[in-house]
Amino acid sequence: MSDEEQLVIMQLIMDGGNAKSSSFEAIQAAKKGAFDQAQAKLKEADSFLAKAHNAQTDLLTTEAQGQHTQVSLLMVHGQDHVMNAITFRDLAGELVSVYQRLDNNSAK
């Protein structure tokens, strides 16, 4: 595995982890009724996921150009981080919506 491939994989791990953390922070903010902050954290998570997606696209482009990327445990771990972060981000968006709906209903 080349140094460049290792850097891309580490970016997947970091961006996936950061996206998950931001998503969790969004849930915590919504739980406290800080919905603007929750939305900002969801946008932040989306930004990290976009970076991870770009890193994945780089790997796919290299593969499509005929330069095979060795699939290692580290690569699988990086992809797992990204997929987990995507799922967590989707769930966080739903939970923020539920908290906001509950807050709106209790205000009536």
pLDDT value for 106: 84
Helices (H), 3-72: 3-31, 35-64
Q: Average pLDDT for residues 57-86, to the nearest whole number?
A: 90
Helices 3-31 and 73-107: crossing angle in degrees, nearest 10, is 20
- From 53, 68, 77, 81, active-site residue: 77
Stated pTM of the model: 0.89
User: For residue 47, is pLDDT > 90?
Assistant: yes
Residue 53 annotated to the active site: no
- Could you list the residues known to form a binding site, using ranges: 80
Residues 6+ apart with CB under 8 A from 15: 48, 49, 51, 52, 55, 82, 85
What's the rounded Cα separation, in Å, for the pair 51 and 10? Answer: 12
Total domains in the chain come to: 1
pLDDT of residue 5: 81
Q: How confident is the model at residue 89 (pLDDT cuts 50, 70, 90)?
A: very high
Q: What is the mean pLDDT of residues 52-57?
A: 92
What residues make up the domain containing 19?
A: 3-107
Question: pLDDT: is 46 or 70 the higher one?
Answer: 46
Distance CA 104, CA 37 (A): 17
Which residues define the annotated binding site for Mg(2+)?
Answer: 80
| 1: nearest Cα among 57, 81, 59 | 59
Q: Read off the CATH number of the domain in which 45 is found.
A: 1.20.58.80
